[in-house]
Structure 1
Amino acid sequence: MKPISARVTKGITVGTILRVADNSKAKLSKVVCVIGYKGIKRRYARAGVADMVSVSIIDGDLSLVGKVMKAVISRQRKEYRRKDGRRIKFEDNACIIIKDEKTGTPAGTVIRGPVAREVVERWPEIGKIASIVT
């Protein structure tokens, strides 16, 4: 994964319910694990904006419910700090389902709502279809 320019506070833990921000027929998902997390024994894995997580679909199309997929976190409620001193926070926690782990190709074709700039830095494929980058 590429580095990002902000110091992102990890505000999403295992078990957090995320809104799916793309049109991949899933509506809600639950974080199962954080990809690449190296932490301390018996501590919940945490993730922030632009991190890749593994999610289980809990609401949406019946063919997708219960499936485990990879996703990238696009928004989080917990505020984080950018290098210029600004603090950024969103009104919900959201993710984007991806098909390919290496390139970050999204499963959907449209992304609803804003996407953090840090996501576009790390995953340029998501930035190509994002309508609002904050």
Structure 2
Amino acid sequence: MSTDEVDGYLHTVAEPARSVLAELCALIVGCDERIRGEIKWNAPSFAIRDHFATTGVSPGGGVRLVLHTGARRRGDPRRVVIDDPGNLLEWRGADRAVVRFAGVSDVQSNAAALREIVGAWIDQTQGRAR
């Protein structure tokens, strides 16, 4: 992970969003040793081969995680199917889903499910290290 770039960005975010973003970014990076973090689309974003996750502070408060398939031409969606027994994902298309967090406790209490979701997303969009 490009910790300097992401850490630098986190220091510009006001609390409580900073703590939520920091917790979420650490969780994402911990899902796969190949993940690199950087600032793209004005927020911490994560990639292996292509970008697959972007975070952000929601205008109404809280933090969001957008899982996506990277920059693609319109009309060329890659369908992603993820097991989500906790109903955390809000699907915004066949290739994009959002998870929202009101606070650090939301990230922590859903950590196991989030790791599974991010791992499955990586499997389908990036491929796992074998």
TM over 0.5, shorter chain: no
More helix by share: 2
TM-score, normalised via structure 1 length: 0.31
